[in-house]
Amino acid sequence: MREIKFQVFTEDWKGVKKCFDCYSLYLLEEIPLSFGKPKDGRWYKVAFTNSEGDKETVVVDRDKIRMFTGLKDKNGKEIYEGDIVEFNNCDYQRTAGHLDDEIIVGEVEYSCGVWGLKEANGQLHDLYISLVNDEEAEVIGNIFQDGDLLRDS
């Protein structure tokens, strides 16, 4: 069974902006009007450990929350929703051994019941199959801090 973990992309009270590990996450029932309207219609209160090791809370919409996929890259780094992963599309059925391998860069997202890697052109690859076929798959960034990696691919 996979471990259920989340991260939140936010700025802590010291001004450090990054993805922090969450230790508590819940949906807010009543939303103060000062927060505005979130993209998915819901706000979440997230408690996390900040850059100083202190506990902090923040209210964010779903776009700032990342779920752990239960998978790790070639370096043992945990792969989260919103990570940017580079892998060698060495699918033997696709190439039949006659074509050069293809380096793919994609964003990790949950779609159609599976964790996938979505390329900038919209093509979706199954993340689990990508990791099985290519032991060299690697997290090279995330959409919050390194979104330009997707545009450059």
Among residues 19, 47, 21, 42, which one has the least CA distance to residue 31? 42
CB contact at 8 A, 65 and 6? yes
Q: How confident is the model at residue 23 (pLDDT cuts 50, 70, 90)?
A: very high
> Rounded to two decimals, what is the model's pTM?
0.84
Between 28 and 74, name the one with better pLDDT. 74
Q: How does pLDDT run across 60-71, given as a tens digit for each residue?
A: 988 999 999 999
pLDDT at 44 over 60: yes
Question: Percent of the chain scored above 70 by pLDDT?
Answer: 82
Average pLDDT, the chain: 84
How confident is the model at residue 130, as a pLDDT?
75
